[in-house]
Chain A
Amino acid sequence: DAMVIQNPRYQVTQFGKPVTLSCSQTLNHNVMYWYQQKSSQAPKLLFHYYDKDFNNEADTPDNFQSRRPNTSFCFLDIRSPGLGDAAMYLCATQTGGARGNEQFFGPGTRLTVL
């Protein structure tokens, strides 16, 4: 049974053409994260939602936005993708309020920018 679902698994877009990646969860977790992972590198946190509170990392480009319309869904919007934005995008969830809780990752969306 899938717990953190990401759609699509593979996304191809053109340079400058907006794209939206989707994440949904069946765990009812408070916290949802978006990470960017480039080849052979560690995942880099872009931002996270703690319930409805949005927390942006200081070095996340303005080109990246996020929406969380409800507990289950979170979206990553890339307004004008550049070639450097090609990467794996990982969504993760966690129960908030307990620092020892595990983060559950989705399978990721591989973004290609042409």
Chain B
Amino acid sequence: KNQVEQSPQSLIILEGKNCTLQCNYTVSPFSNLRWYKQDTGRGPVSLTIMTFSENTKSNGRYTATLDADTKQSSLHITASQLSDSASYICVVSQGRGSTLGRLYFGRGTQLTVWP
């Protein structure tokens, strides 16, 4: 069964601290993996996209890693800010070739940054 599991479900950290969010998936065939940030009441915004051959990608203070062998990904947030408080969603795209891949969404990790 194609699934995306995220942990932890929620996380509270102090401003300025680092944190790491986890994503495990069983989607096959694998196309790419995306991390989105979703602020409360808003649509998801893309942070990173990684294909099979990429094992790390950065976007400012966000760094995503991918281990396609173990089917695991992580999102590391450095020097957290209050504005990082949001839900972080891991999304895995299924498919091969040029076909439009189906997306499988994790339930997200709710991150709260306290001052």
Contact = CB atoms under 8 A, between A and B. Distances in A.
B106 A42 contact: yes
Nearest to B94: A99
Interface of A: 4, 6, 31, 40-43, 45, 50, 88, 90, 92, 94, 96-100, 102-108, 110
Nearest to A98: B98
A99 B103 CA distance: 10
A97 B98 contact: yes
A43 B98 CA distance: 24
A52 to B, nearest CB: 15
Interface residues of B, number: 29
A92 B36 CA distance: 13
7 contacts: A31-B100, A42-B4, A94-B100, A99-B99, A103-B103, A105-B43, A107-B42
Contacts of A106: 43
Contact of B44 (A6, A98, A105): A105
B34 A107 contact: no
Nearest to A97: B98
Contacts of B96: 99
A79 B43 CA distance: 24
B42 to A, nearest CB: 5
B107 A42 contact: yes
